[in-house]
Amino acid sequence: MSSNKMVLKKRRHRVRKSLRLNENTRPRLSVHRTGRNIYAQIIDDTTAVTLASASTMDKELKGKLKNGGDVDAAIEVGKEIAQKATKAGIKEVVFDRGAYVYHGRIKALADAAREGGLEF
C-alpha cells in the first residue's frame, strides 16, 4: 500500500477510535467523498444497521445538481440527510469525518445537516 493510503487509513481509524471511546450511545453520521460525488449515512453501530442515507447519486438530487462533487452538492446532501434523519426520529448524531479534513465539502455538509435539525 502506498504511503498516502496508509496515512489516510491511520487517520480514519484514529478518528473512529475516538468516536467509539467518547460516544457510543448516539448513531454515527459517516461521510465519504470522491471527486465526483459525496455520500452520507447514519449508522447505528450497536446493531450495525444503516438508518438513513443520502448521496449525490440519489434520483432526487441528481436531477437538480450540475456537479456532484462540489460544495453546493455537499450542502444539498446535508439537507437531505437531515430531513431523512428527522423522518426516522433521529435528532442527535456523532459526526464521523473519516480520513477527511473538516474543511470545504465536509464542513459544508456538516453545517447543512445542523441547519436541517441534526445536533452534533
CATH code, 108: 3.30.420.100
Q: Please check the confidence at residue 107 and state whether its pLDDT lies above 80.
A: yes
User: What is d(CA 75, CA 106) in angstroms, rounded to the nearest whole number?
Assistant: 9
Within 10 Å of residue 11's Cβ, how many Cβ atoms? 15
Question: Does any domain span residue 89?
Answer: yes
Higher pLDDT pick, 46 / 88: 88
- What is the percentage of the chain residues whose pLDDT exceeds 90? 68
Q: Is 21 a residue whose pLDDT tops 80?
A: no
- Return the percentage of the chain with pLDDT > 70, whole number: 96
Domain contains 120: no
Indicate whether 90 belongs to any domain. yes
pLDDT reported for residue 18: 76
List all residues 6 or more positions away from 85 whose beta carbon is below 8 Å from its beta carbon: 42, 51, 52, 91, 93, 113, 116, 117, 118
60-88 tens-digit pLDDT: 898 889 999 999 999 999 999 999 999 99
The total number of structural domains that make up the chain: 1
